[in-house]
């Protein structure tokens, strides 16, 4: 704790002088203590006695510090003094005391207790979650896992063969055509944003039959990689049934640095936008592999990615910043509180010492003189009270004897 600043500037001027008796060199040093910029508090002059070797030769001491000219010009000294006055590392010397030591120990104990409480709070502190919104038009494609649940299979395509799709040229060529998935088969598609309504992911299946424990009429599921710390891989595939119609898909990419596994997850959340289930041959190349009867009876689902997606980061709280920032500030606060207590203690102690010293140094003669002054003042008041009737008689013109 910095309780004061003091700047000690020493400059020395060395002159070779011949002494009458011994012929030795002398040194003149002036030290200047500064506690405020531009103000000199105390100046002390010191003259070092000349020394000589046994053979009589003079010894010239080395200069301590030179901040000004030897001729008394302090034009270069003042800027250096102002700069040095801002030194926050200089400490004003203060003698150690028992009270200061006790307060320091109490402050350290309070800081340790506060640090322990911060460590306990750190273990219960939730991770820090940050969400960023990204534009899908400038990035992609993004992986999306799907699962076919139709007993008759699924015909899927993901066509992006024009300039209306963002990064459509990076979509796998196999997806640009027609793929047939068997019941229960999973596949990872390359979803990307497109401004062409006929582009993107299209799935076709027979809605007459469906698997048990699924939504009637559903033949496809979108799989979202949700967080599951209790599972071996740290991921639970959350299925979302897809019916015939058009869907809008929200993509969330999660970077979880606090999880022991599955630090990167891809989650898709779809919203039902339209119930138009009619197969559009212009929207999928799979229409050429189906008969006219199948095209009339099958269901079509279209999933379109929205124009924005979300990047989420999950990070554990920083313990180092917590300890250095909070605990360091708490220690300084406790030390400042102890410093205030020490000032009050020293003030009360000095005031009590002055009172006791004044009482002990009071002389008996002074006490007797005060008592005499008090008696004289009392007798003077009595004398004035006796003379008062005589003065009143004199004022009215009666003799004093008449009152006898």
pLDDT in the model for residue 251: 94
Residue predicted with more confidence, 402 or 95: 95
SS3 6: coil
Q: Can you say whether residue 229 is alpha, beta or left, with left for phi > 0 and alpha for psi between -120 and 50 degrees? A: alpha
Total structural domains within the chain: 3
Say if CB 85 and CB 67 are below 8 A apart: no
Q: What angle do CA 383, 388, 389 make, to 5 degrees?
A: 125
pLDDT tens per residue across span 179-197:
999 999 999 999 999 888 8
Domain assignment present for 368: no
Within this chain, do residues 148 and 290 fall inside the same structural domain, yes or no?
Answer: yes
Within this chain, do residues 161 and 223 fall inside the same structural domain, yes or no?
Answer: yes
User: What would the mean pLDDT of 205-215 be, rounded to a whole number?
Assistant: 84
Q: Which of 315, 337, 352 is the last residue of a domain?
A: 315
Q: b vs e for 84-107, b when ≥16 Cβ sit within 10 Å of the residue's Cβ?
A: bbeeeeeeeeeeeeeebeebbeeb
Helix (H) or strand (E) holding 100: helix 98-124
Domain assignment present for 244: yes
Give the number of other Cβ atoms within 10 Å of residue 111's Cβ: 19
Distance CA 371, CA 208 (A): 125
Range of the domain at 297: 131-315
Domain assignment present for 382: no
**What would you measure as the largest C-alpha separation in the chain, in angstroms?**
159
Q: What angle do CA 28, 31, 33 make, to 5 degrees?
A: 170
Within this chain, do residues 295 and 172 fall inside the same structural domain, yes or no?
Answer: yes
**Which position has the token pair 């999660």?**
254
Q: Which two tokens stand for residue 148?
A: 């076919």
Within this chain, do residues 278 and 357 fall inside the same structural domain, yes or no?
Answer: no
Q: Which of 283, 300, 315 is the last residue of a domain?
A: 315
pLDDT tens per residue across span 72-98:
556 667 777 777 777 766 767 777 788
SS3 45: strand
Distances, alpha carbon 187 to alpha carbons 154, 157, 222, 379, in Å: 11, 12, 10, 122
pLDDT beyond 90 at 49? no
Within this chain, do residues 120 and 32 fall inside the same structural domain, yes or no?
Answer: no
**Phi, psi (5° rounding) for residue 235?**
-130, 140
Domain assignment present for 16: yes
What CATH number has the domain bearing residue 141?
2.60.470
Within this chain, do residues 299 and 239 fall inside the same structural domain, yes or no?
Answer: yes
Within this chain, do residues 281 and 347 fall inside the same structural domain, yes or no?
Answer: no
Q: Which two tokens stand for residue 200?
A: 């993107």
pLDDT in the model for residue 76: 65
pLDDT in the model for residue 58: 47
């Amino acid at each position: 704790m910095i309780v004061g600043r003091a700047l000690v500037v020493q400059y020395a001027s060395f002159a070779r002088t011949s002494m009458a008796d011994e012929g030795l060199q002398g040194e003149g040093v002036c030290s200047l203590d500064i506690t405020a910029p531009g103000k000199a508090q105390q100046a002390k002059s010191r003259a070092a006695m000349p020394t000589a070797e046994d053979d009589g030769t003079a010894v010239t001491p080395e200069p301590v510090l030179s901040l000004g000219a030897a001729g008394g010009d302090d034009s270069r000294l003042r800027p250096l003094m102002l700069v040095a006055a801002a030194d926050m590392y200089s400490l004003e010397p203060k003698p150690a005391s028992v009270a200061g030591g006790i307060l320091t120990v109490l402050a350290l104990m309070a800081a340790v207790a506060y640090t322990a409480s911060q460590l306990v709070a750190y273990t219960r502190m939730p991770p820090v979650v940050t969400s960023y919104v990204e534009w899908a038009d400038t990035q992609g494609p993004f992986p999306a896992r799907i699962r076919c649940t139709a007993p008759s299979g699924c015909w899927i395509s993901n066509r992006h063969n024009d300039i209306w799709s963002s990064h459509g040229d990076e979509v796998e060529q196999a997806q640009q055509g027609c793929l047939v998935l068997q019941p229960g088969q999973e596949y990872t598609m390359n979803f990307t944003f497109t401004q062409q309504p006929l582009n993107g992911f299209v799935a076709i299946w027979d809605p007459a039959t469906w698997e048990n424990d699924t939504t009637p009429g559903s033949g496809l599921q979108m799989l979202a990689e949700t967080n599951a710390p209790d599972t071996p891989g740290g991921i639970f595939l959350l299925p979302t049934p897809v019916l015939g119609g058009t869907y809008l898909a929200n993509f969330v990419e999660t970077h979880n640095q606090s999880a022991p596994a599955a630090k990167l997850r891809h989650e898709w959340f779809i919203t039902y936008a339209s119930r138009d289930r009619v197969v559009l041959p212009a929207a999928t190349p799979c229409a050429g592999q189906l008969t006219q009867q199948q095209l009339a009876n099958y269901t079509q689902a279209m999933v379109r990615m929205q124009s924005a997606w979300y990047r989420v980061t999950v990070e554990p709280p920083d313990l180092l910043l917590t300890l250095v920032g909070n605990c360091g500030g708490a220690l300084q606060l406790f030390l400042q509180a102890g410093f205030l207590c020490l000032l009050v203690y020293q003030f009360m102690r000095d005031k009590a010492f002055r009172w006791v010293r004044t009482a002990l140094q009071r002389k008996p003669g002074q006490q007797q003189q005060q008592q005499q002054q008090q008696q004289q003042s009392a007798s003077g008041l009595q004398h004035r009270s006796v003379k008062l009737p005589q003065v009143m008689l004199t004022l009215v013109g009666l003799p004093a004897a008449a009152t006898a």
